[in-house]
Structure formats: C-alpha cells, structure tokens
A and B are shown apart, each in its own frame.
Chain A
Amino acid sequence: MTDPRIERLAALLTDYSLALRAGQVLRIDSLDAGSPLVLSLYEAALRAGALPYTNVDLPGLTESLLQLGSDEQLTYLSPIQWQEIEELDALVTIWSEANTRALSRVEPDRHAAYIAAQRKLSNRRWQRISAGEMSWCGTLFPTNAHAQEAEMSLAEYEDFVYAACHVHEKDPASHWRAVSTELQRRAAELGSVRELRIVGPDTDLRLGVDGRSWLAADGRYNMPDGEVFTSPVETETEGEIRYTFPAVYHGREVEDVRLRFEEGRVVAAEAARGNAYLQSLLEMDAGARVLGEAAFGLNYEIDRFTRNILFDEKIGGTMHFALGSGFPETGSENTSGLHWDMICDLRSEGEVYADGELIWKEGRFLAEPALEVVESGVRGS
C-alpha cells in the first residue's frame, strides 16, 4: 500500500511547486530507489492533464563511467540530452541514493571533468528556468543510504523528511502558501536593512546588505524549503565566524571551520579537520574568498543536522553563509566556481542585529514580519 505521505508529496510538487498545467511536458528524474515517488508523481501529473515521462537511473552506472570512461566518454553529452532540455516545461529531480559515498574513491580530476561537462547541460537548464520557460523542483525520496547519513532508521528518516515537507498533514499546499506569504513579508522587510550583525559563540560578523534584495525560498525550487536569502555586498563583510556544523563540499566534510573577514574577503581560515581541503577550495579563484550568500533557515520542522544540504540549510534557527558565487537576482556581483554553503547554529546563543536593532535571538525572529504583502511575489491560490 502506498504511504499517503508519498501521494501528498507528489500532489504538492505538481500543484504547488511546479503549478503544472494541462499539456505541459514534465520529466521526472530519479534513481530507481525513488520509484514509489516517481509513480505517484507520474499519476498526479497525468491527473493534471500534463504529459509526464520518467528518466530513471540505476546506481553504479555513473561510477562505472567514471572508472572506465575515456576522456571523450567522460565529457560526452548526447544529442538526446541537449534536445530534451529544449522541450521540457517542467522537471523534477528526485534524489534517492542507494549509497551516498559510492563516488568517494573516484579520481578527483576525472570527477571534476565529468561534473564540468554535466554543468553545460545544467547551465542551459538554468537559463531556461530563469527565463521562465520551464520550472524545476528538487526533492528527496527517503532511502536507507540517506537515513544512514542522517544517523536514523529509515522509518525515523521518513518521518523527518515528510514532516519537513509538511506532507504528514492533510493539506500541505495551504501550509506552503502560508509559509510563502510569511517569507515574502520577511524578505520585503529585510530589504530595507543596510547592515546585519551576527553574534554567537566565537562569532561576530558584520555584513553589508544595503541595496540587496532578499528572496523567499518557499517550496518552488526545493521541497522541503524555508529560507530567506540574499547575497551580501562583496566588500563589506567584516569579523569572525565559527561554523558549528561540519561543512560538506562534494561529499567531503570539513569540521569546525573558523573564518575571519576583512573588507569582504577571507583573510584567515582554519578547520579542526579537513583544513587542507578548506585552504585548497579558498584558492579556487578570486570569488571563492567572498560570501555569495547569507540566509536565515526557517523550517522549524527541520531540527537537526542530517548531512544533506537540501535539509541542513533550512534548519529552523540557523543561518548559512556560502563562500563563492552569489545570486545575480539579489544584486550580487560575485562569481566563482565555488558555492559552498556553511551552516551556523544560532539556536542556543545566537543574536542578529539589523542596523543595530536586535531582530533575532536564539534561533527566532523577535517579531512577526510587517504586513506589507508583496502580492505579485506570492504564489497563489
């Protein structure tokens, strides 16, 4: 029997996240472990009158390409893939790994070459998404591998994932519409702030955000979701920060990262574990030492670190600050090959000041956002 939460998640994705309409072409990408959600989604899309099809992968194939492929094979993009992108109206990516560490021993150079080639396709996809020509949402189907990463049983992890998506309740879409309204209000309010100051254990960081837009991540591109984010002014970050959670980049963990910024750039960095990796990533390019993102995690159903950025960056009561590329739509000018989200837990001792005024304490905003609804930005009905 199908878990009703899977069906609700499928309906939430088609009705709310993608707002899928009749006649639209939807591709569903997943590994075979995600089949229950693939099928539910396929059914929901059929009911919406859309034209869905599935693109399912098997564990082990990418691994074998990375092991055996010639340089040409590694970087090959088929005409099938290029043509498909042009014809999609909507795409769902379901992450459902059978082994989250399967690629740990792949030669880094070969992996990088593969990723760089794949990025050409995803760049074109993002172009079409940004132009409003297609929609995309990424979500996760709980597997034992993800549960293991989170140090939970599969049943516990399922409860965690579905609660984070609010599909443990009957009408998740109305929950997300309410979240969207609240996040839009919060983003609008933060838009008038000139400087943020974050104070916590070993942390006192000032960010210039004057003139930058804040955006609400409200379940359109990710499910679950729940953050407001901007890209800080590139030259104005000052002070120190200590990241409580391990910072993960391409499956490798760096623990207890401490950074010191002057005039927007990292001038000192150290980590208790993985320090060499941290230093090498900071050297990637000029933009790698500059913050590309500052964000408040506001999904309070997500209450613990699970080693998966889809969830971790939204943990209610945390902030994350990413080194590397920023978001042009917020006004950012920082470009880099890096975008590394690092998460700072502010739930026990953190404070955030906006232009000197305390707005956030122990993981919560002190006041509800002002009632200036930006209607046009609210997804609706």
Chain B
Amino acid sequence: MVPRYLERLAGVLVDYSTGVREGDLVCIDTGPAAAPLVREIWRHVLEAGGHPHLRLDVDGAPELLLREGSDEQLAWVSPLRREEVQRSDVRIAIEAEVNTRANSRVHPERQARAERARDALRRIHFARVSSGDLRYVVTLFPTPAAAQDAEMSLSEYENFVIRAGLLDRDDPRGEWEALGRAYAGLATRLDARKEIRVVGDGTDLSLGVEGRKWIPCAGRENFPDGEVFTGPIETKVDGTIRFTYPAGYAGRRIGGVELEFRAGEVVRARADEGEEFLREMLAVDEGARRAGEFSFGLNEAVSEFTGHTLFDEKIGGTVHLALGASYPESGGKVESALHWDFVCDLRNGSEVYADGELIYRDGRFLDGLL
C-alpha cells in the first residue's frame, strides 16, 4: 500500500474507530507482514498520547502448535494473551496472513480443541467490548496471500481494500459518520419487526427477532465496515439457507454450505468442500449449532467476492449468518467458542420479508428504509 493510504488507514483506525485517548494501553495484534501499517499505527497512537503494545505472531508458529502440540499445549493460553485481553483499553487487530490455507491439513479435531481453549479469552473480550471497557477494531492489511484468494494481483487487491474502506475519498471519516447515521435509521426501523424471512435460490429461512436490537456498523469494530446486524431469538430460526460463497475459517476454506434449522438449531449441515471440518466445528459446543448473528451487508464499495469474511460479509446486497457466539449488545444469548460467518448473495432476485411485508429485493432495501 502506498504510504498515503497507510497513513490514512492508520489515522482512521486510531482516531475514529477506536478513538485512542491519552493514557490508553493499545494492543496492536498482527503478523510481521503488516509491519508497514504497524509503524503508522504506532506513530498515531503515540501522537494521541496512548501506550502502544505490539503483539506479533510469527508466521508459522500457530501452525506448528496445531501440528506438534500435545493436548495440554493446545489448550494452554499464554499469560501475554490473557493479560492483553484483560488489560488493554484498545485492541487493533490486523489480519495479515501470508498463507490462508496453512492449516488445511491439520486434523479438525485438534483445531476444535484449540478453539475451545481460546473460549475463555473470547468471553472476556466480548464482555469487555460490550461494556465499553475495551474498544476493538479488526482490519486487514493486504498481503499477496489475501490477493491470491481474491484472484487479484496485489496492487489490484490493495486498490480494492482502499475503496472498500472509502480511503480514496477526501474525508473517509466523514463518509463513515454519514453512513453510520443512515445505518442507524435502518436499525431503528428493523427494531420494530418481529420476524425476518429470507427467500432465494435454495433458501427459505425465517428468523425471530422480536425484542432484539439491530446494531449499525460503520467502521468502529470492523474496518472496512457496512452492515446492520442482530442476534436472532435462539429458538426461532427455521428453514434452509444455502450460502453462495465459500467461507474461510482458521486457515481453511469450506464451500457450498447448506444448513437446515429447526427451532433455532442446525439439524442438517452439508458442504461441497470441507464437510468434515464443518461437522467438527458444529460440535465444538452447544452454541455452535445456533445462529448467533444475522446481518445485512451494506457496503456498496464492496461488490465482489474476495474470499475473506471481513469483506465478503459487507458486500452490499448480501446477508450473512454466523454459527456460534452472538454479540451481547444485540440481545443475542448464544454462547460459544465459535463465531463463523457464512454469506448469502441476494442480488439475484432474492427477497426479504419483515412480518410478511416485502422490504428488500435484489440486494436492496425498498425505498425509504435505508
């Protein structure tokens, strides 16, 4: 990424997304590939009066643990990780993978074990974010590996990332604030609804959302962003959904996923690619079989599938559903070590109804809603 955009991205993350203030302990969580962005963020944090703290995973170490680790080693959480989650005022996570498929050959059962080990930390993290003690944002630094997943050159991919974050606009922060207001309006209108029904190719799914809160997302916790989500009622998800795009998770890719829900629980799951891993993840714990999140992707600057959830779930004209943990701020009550998003493209004649009324068609809300 050219320095001008790195600088802008760092500025937005530190000043807008996480609002770093004097005295904040700011944990920057990433891999070595993101070094150019880390330096910019580090500088911005210092200028904002914060205390930057770097948490860098060496490329290859997580794979080694999954490959070589004993059960005890897989289940262990380092004091550094724990203290970071408990003590940071701000966490800025930057995904910067050098190989998005490095874990493809790890036994799924071992990965499930490692997921469970991190559950306690994840709970603390979610609780602190929810209560406002911890401000958190996750972003992505464009690497050749991510470009490869997107089937782009690195420079094409960088441009995609820049556009998706509105970093090519004169005032990215102002743009995100304006979007935030629009999303908040949509969220308020959705808050009044009891049931959402999604109808499309291979998909007819109803979700109970009465009393749940829809949360507008405009670049605070994800960057780039662009969605409005809620946590469906745990016992009121029924029907079938077929996801359009492959879903990456923990260094693997699973494609052609189809789920059938009854009374909130997955009763049938299949995948064209990676079905064994899907089953193993569904068995991680009780909550892994439930939908913790349902969301509308609203970022019009992201229009194509690039193989990375952070972007794919924001594609304007899609919805996504996550298996596993819900975000407490939405009123969702699913607890799980898992949170795995699957994206469904609705720009192909699909429809969404709210309490029986058509509100969305072909990937867009009907007039006046957004």
- On A, residues with C-beta under 8 Å from B are 23, 25, 27, 32, 35, 38-39, 42-43, 46-47, 49, 51, 53-58, 60-61, 64-65, 68-70, 73, 76, 78-80, 83-84, 87-88
CB closest chain-B residue, reference A82: B83
What 13 new A-B contacts, CB under 8 Å, besides A54-B56, A78-B87? A23-B72, A32-B32, A35-B32, A35-B59, A39-B61, A46-B68, A46-B70, A49-B72, A54-B58, A56-B54, A56-B56, A56-B58, A61-B54
Query: Which residue of B27, B51, B58, B73 contacts A39 across the interface (Cβ within 8 Å)?
Result: B58
**Can you sample 28 A-B contacts with CB below 8 Å?**
A32-B32, A35-B58, A35-B59, A38-B61, A39-B58, A39-B61, A42-B64, A51-B73, A53-B78, A54-B58, A58-B32, A58-B38, A60-B39, A61-B39, A61-B42, A61-B52, A64-B39, A64-B42, A65-B42, A65-B46, A70-B49, A73-B49, A76-B51, A80-B25, A80-B53, A80-B83, A84-B79, A87-B79
Contact B70 A58 (CB under 8 A): no
A48 to B141, CA, bound (A): 35
Would you give the 0/1 interface string for B29-48, flagging 1 where the beta carbon is closer than 8 Å to chain A? 00010010011001100110
Shortest beta-carbon distance from A118 to chain B in Å:
14
CB closest chain-A residue, reference B56: A56
A87 to B46, CA, bound (A): 28
Answer whether residue B106 sits at the interface, using C-beta atoms and an 8 A cutoff.
no
A43 to B66, CA, bound (A): 11
Shortest beta-carbon distance from B217 to chain A in Å:
28
Could you say which residues of chain B place their CB within 8 Å of the CB of A49? Answer: 70, 72-73
Contact A68 B43 (CB under 8 A): yes
Contact B79 A68 (CB under 8 A): no
How many residues in B have their beta carbons less than 8 Å from beta carbons of A?
Answer: 37
CB closest chain-A residue, reference B32: A32
Answer whether residue B2 sits at the interface, using C-beta atoms and an 8 A cutoff.
no
Shortest beta-carbon distance from B58 to chain A in Å:
5
Shortest beta-carbon distance from A213 to chain B in Å:
35
Contact B56 A58 (CB under 8 A): yes
Query: Which residue of A53, A70, A73 contacts B80 across the interface (Cβ within 8 Å)?
Result: A53
Answer whether residue B57 sits at the interface, using C-beta atoms and an 8 A cutoff.
yes
Contact A78 B25 (CB under 8 A): yes
Could you say which residues of chain A place their CB within 8 Å of the CB of B61? Answer: 38-39, 42, 54
Top 10 closest A-B pairs, CB basis?
A: A53-B78, A56-B56, A87-B79, A80-B83, A68-B46, A32-B32, A46-B68, A51-B76, A83-B83, A76-B51
Tell me if B's interface is mostly helix, strand, loop or mixed.
Answer: helix
Could you say which residues of chain B place their CB within 8 Å of the CB of A43? Answer: 64, 68
Could you say which residues of chain B place their CB within 8 Å of the CB of A69? Answer: 46
Could you say which residues of chain A place their CB within 8 Å of the CB of B87? Answer: 78-80, 83
CB closest chain-A residue, reference B33: A32
A53 to B73, CA, bound (A): 11
Answer whether residue B69 sits at the interface, using C-beta atoms and an 8 A cutoff.
yes
A73 to B20, CA, bound (A): 14
Contact A64 B46 (CB under 8 A): yes
Shortest beta-carbon distance from A14 to chain B in Å:
13
A23 to B70, CA, bound (A): 11
Shortest beta-carbon distance from B253 to chain A in Å:
24
Contact B46 A58 (CB under 8 A): no
Could you say which residues of chain B place their CB within 8 Å of the CB of A83? Answer: 79, 83, 87
Contact A25 B79 (CB under 8 A): yes
Shortest beta-carbon distance from A80 to chain B in Å:
4
Could you say which residues of chain B place their CB within 8 Å of the CB of A53? Answer: 78, 80-81
A257 to B64, CA, bound (A): 50
CB closest chain-B residue, reference A55: B80
Query: Given that A51-B73, A61-B42 are contacting pairs, would A68 and B58 also be in contact in the complex, using a CB cutoff of 8 Å?
Result: no
Answer whether residue B211 sits at the interface, using C-beta atoms and an 8 A cutoff.
no
A156 to B35, CA, bound (A): 29
Shortest beta-carbon distance from A58 to chain B in Å:
5
Could you say which residues of chain B place their CB within 8 Å of the CB of A46? Answer: 64-65, 68-70, 73
A47 to B64, CA, bound (A): 10
A80 to B86, CA, bound (A): 9
Answer whether residue B84 sits at the interface, using C-beta atoms and an 8 A cutoff.
yes
Shortest beta-carbon distance from B352 to chain A in Å:
45
Answer whether residue B60 sits at the interface, using C-beta atoms and an 8 A cutoff.
yes
A247 to B46, CA, bound (A): 35
Q: Mark out the residues of chain B between 10 and 30 whose CB falls within 8 Å of any chain A CB in the assembled complex.
A: 25, 27
Contact B46 A73 (CB under 8 A): yes
Query: Given that A25-B78, A42-B58, A83-B83 are contacting pairs, would A58 and B39 also be in contact in the complex, using a CB cutoff of 8 Å?
Result: yes
Contact A84 B83 (CB under 8 A): yes
A43 to B88, CA, bound (A): 29
CB closest chain-A residue, reference B63: A39
Could you say which residues of chain B place their CB within 8 Å of the CB of A42? Answer: 58, 61, 64-65
Shortest beta-carbon distance from B24 to chain A in Å:
11
Shortest beta-carbon distance from A75 to chain B in Å:
11
CB closest chain-A residue, reference B81: A53
Shortest beta-carbon distance from A51 to chain B in Å:
5
Q: Mark out the residues of chain B between 244 and 293 whose CB falls within 8 Å of any chain A CB in the assembled complex.
A: none
A104 to B185, CA, bound (A): 55
Q: Mark out the residues of chain B between 69 and 121 whose CB falls within 8 Å of any chain A CB in the assembled complex.
A: 69-70, 72-73, 76, 78-81, 83-84, 87-88
Query: Given that A60-B39, A61-B42, A87-B79 are contacting pairs, would A68 and B47 also be in contact in the complex, using a CB cutoff of 8 Å?
Result: yes
